[in-house]
Amino acid sequence: MWTRRGILFFVFTIVLTLWAYSQHQQRFPRPEFETGYEQPDATTPEPRSGAVELIDVLVLTLALSGGVWLALKKRSRKGILWLSIFSLAYFGFFREGCICSVGSLQNIALSLFDPGYAVSLNVLAFFVIPLVFALFFGRIFCGSVCPLGVIQDLVVLKPVKLPHGLQTVLGLLPFLYLGFAVLFAATGTDFIICRYDPFVGIFRLGAPFHMIMLGVLFLLIGMFVSRPYCRFLCPYGVLLGWMSRFSRRHLTITPAECIECKLCADSCPFDAIEAPTGDLSAERTSKNRNRFIVYAILIPVIAFAAGFLLNRAHPYLAKANSTVYLADLLVTQPEMQFNTENLDISTFMASGKSLATLTEEADAIRHSFAAGSWYLGIFLGLVFGFTLLNQVIYRRREGYTPHKGDCVSCGRCFDYCPVQKHAENTNHE
C-alpha cells in the first residue's frame, strides 16, 4: 500500500535527483534556529600521535641492544626468553602487530618504485634497524624481538629433524615469497605479506575466522616443525639471513674450545648447527670442482630461462591487480558492463570513467608487471642456481658452529654445551 507520505517521498526523490544532480550542492538550506540551539561539532577522535610511534622505534632499538648483550656477552638463554616474551607482549599484543619489520619491506619496495608514495620515519626505522643489527651481530631480531618469530618459538614442543634435501627445497620458498611480495608491492597491487600474515589475527584477539585458523594451524605445525613460518616463508628472514651470514660478530655455542661432544647439535630445534668437516678426499675435491664449473656456467642460463618464463606469464600475474582484472573482464566480456550484481563493475559504470581510461591504466600496470616479472624470474633463477652451487662448495669448519644465516640466535644451545658449564662451575667454586 502506498501511503501519502510514501508517495510524497517518491515524488520528492524524483524531483531531487533531477534537480540536484551534483552532490556538491546543499539541497536543503541550513536552518536558522530560534531556540538558541547550538550545532555540535563532528566528532574526530585522535589517532596515536607520532611521538608514540617514536617510542616504538626506541623500544625496538633497546630490545635489539638487550638481545645482543644477552646473546653475545651474557650468553643467557633465560634472558633471551624473557626479552622475547616482553617483545611479544609489546609488539604483538600491545601494538597489535602493525607496523612490523616483515611487512615494512613492502612499504620500502613501493616507495622505491612509486614516486607518489613516501614512507614515514618509523616504517623506515623498522625496516633498517634489524638489518643493521644483523649485519653486526646476527639475527638477534628473530630470536629476541620479532613477535611472529617469538610466538612460534614459544610453542616448540618436540621438534623433528627434517631431511637435509627437504629443508633445502623448502628453504627456497621464502625467496619466492619475497620476490612476489616485492613485485606486488612495487606495482601497487597488494601487500601480500600483511594480507596473509598468520599471526596478526591472534595479536589482535579477533579477526576473520580463516585468519585465526591459519595462525592456529601454523602454531600446531610449529610444535613439531619448529618456526615453520620463519624457516620456510618469512621474506624478511631472507634479508636478515643475507646480513647475518656475513655478520661481523655472531653468537658462539661454546665460550671456549669446542670438544665436539655433539650435545648442542641436538639441542637446536632449527637444524642450524653444522658439524665439523674433515678434510676432503682428492677424489671428492675434483668431483666438486667439475660440478662447480658446470653449475657456474648453468647459473646465467637458469636465470635467463626463469626470467623469460615468468615474463611469458606476466599477463596472468597482472590479473592480481584489481584495475587490470576489471579492465580485462570488461574488454573480453563486454556484456558484463550491464551486470548489476558485480559491485566493482556497477561502481565503475556509475563513476562516469570511460573504458578507454580504464584500459589505459591497466596497460600501464601490465607494463610494469612485464618488466617486474623479468627481474623476478632472474632473481629466482639466481637463487636456485646459487643454492645448487652451495651444495658443492666446501667450507672447512672446526668444531660445531651455528650456521650464521639460519641461526635465529635463540640461545638454546648455550645451556647444552658442557664446556660452558664447566667454566661456570669453576667460577662458582
Partner 1 sequence: MSDNKYIDRRNFIERSFRIGLGAAVAGTAGYTLLKLTRRSYVWQIDPFKCTQCGRCQTDCVLPVSAVKCVHAYDLCGYCDLCGGYFKPDANELSTAAENQLCPTQAIKRQFVEEPYYEYIIVEELCIGCGKCVKGCTSFGNGSLILQIRHDICVNCNECAIARVCPSDAISRIPVDEPYIIKGDFSFTNKS
Task: Give residues 146-165 in contact with partner 1 (rule: CB under 8 A).
Answer: none
Asked whether position 340 contacts partner 1 by CB under 8 A, the answer is no
Beta bridge partners of 254: none
CA distances from 192 to 97, 181, 324 (A): 15, 6, 17
Tell me which residues in 307-336 interact with partner 1 (CB under 8 A): 322
Instruction: Evaluate whether 302 touches 381 at the Cβ level (below 8 Å).
Output: yes
Task: Output the smallest distance, CB 409 to partner 1, in A.
Answer: 17
How far apart (Å, rounded) are the C-alpha atoms in residues 132 and 125? Answer: 10
Asked whether position 146 contacts ligand SF4 by CB under 6 A, the answer is yes
Task: Output the smallest distance, CB 277 to partner 1, in A.
Answer: 12
> How many residues are there in the chain?
429
Closer residue to ligand SF4 (CB): 138 or 149: 149
Contact string 66-105 vs ligand SF4 (x = CB under 6 A): ------------------------------------x---
Closer residue to ligand SF4 (CB): 147 or 377: 147
* 18, 19, 21, 40: residue in contact with partner 1 (rule CB under 8 A): 40
How far apart (Å, rounded) are the C-alpha atoms in residues 211 and 200? Answer: 8
How far apart (Å, rounded) are the C-alpha atoms in residues 23 and 351? Answer: 13
355-389 burial: b if 16+ Cβ within 10 Å, else e:
eeebbebbeebbebbbebbbbbbbbbbbbbbeebb
Taking residue 77's Cβ as centre, other Cβ atoms within 10 Å add up to: 19
From 84-92, 190-198, 272-280, 293-301, span contacting partner 1 (CB under 8 A):
190-198
Task: Name the 3-class secondary structure at 35.
Answer: coil
Give which of 206, 202, 253 is closest to 397, Cα–Cα.
253
Asked whether position 410 contacts ligand SF4 by CB under 6 A, the answer is no
Instruction: Please report where in the chains the cell 612476489 appears, as a residue.
Output: 180
Asked whether position 201 contacts ligand SF4 by CB under 6 A, the answer is no
Beta bridge partners of 274: 401
User: What's at 328, amino acid-wise?
Assistant: D
Asked whether position 198 contacts ligand SF4 by CB under 6 A, the answer is no
Asked whether position 151 contacts ligand SF4 by CB under 6 A, the answer is no
146 binds, among ligand SF4, partner 1, none (CB under 5 to 8 A by kind): ligand SF4
Asked whether position 94 contacts partner 1 by CB under 8 A, the answer is no
Could you tell me which residues come within 8 angstroms of residue 245 by beta carbon, excluding any fewer than 6 positions away? 404, 405
Half-sphere exposure of 427 (CA within 13 A, CB side): 6
Asked whether position 326 contacts ligand SF4 by CB under 6 A, the answer is no
53 binds, among partner 1, ligand SF4, none (CB under 5 to 8 A by kind): partner 1
How far apart (Å, rounded) are the C-alpha atoms in residues 408 and 32? Answer: 68
142 binds, among partner 1, ligand SF4, none (CB under 5 to 8 A by kind): ligand SF4
From 106-114, 234-242, 268-276, 304-312, span contacting ligand SF4 (CB under 6 A):
234-242
Task: Output the smallest distance, CB 300 to ligand SF4, in A.
Answer: 30
Task: Give the containing element (helix H, strand E) for 402.
Answer: strand 401-402
149 binds, among ligand SF4, partner 1, none (CB under 5 to 8 A by kind): ligand SF4
Tell me which residues in 46-75 interact with partner 1 (CB under 8 A): 46-50, 53
From 235-243, 296-304, 329-337, 417-425, span contacting ligand SF4 (CB under 6 A):
235-243
Closer residue to partner 1 (CB): 81 or 105: 105
Q: Which three cell numbers stand for residue 6?
A: 510514501
CA dihedral 256, 261, 267, 273 (to 10 degrees): 70
* 229, 295, 348, 400: residue in contact with ligand SF4 (rule CB under 6 A): 229
Task: Output the smallest distance, CB 223 to partner 1, in A.
Answer: 27
Total interface residues for ligand SF4 by CB under 6 A: 12
Task: Name the 3-class secondary structure at 401.
Answer: strand
Residues that bind ligand SF4 (CB under 6 A): 102, 141-142, 146, 148-149, 229-230, 234, 236-237, 240
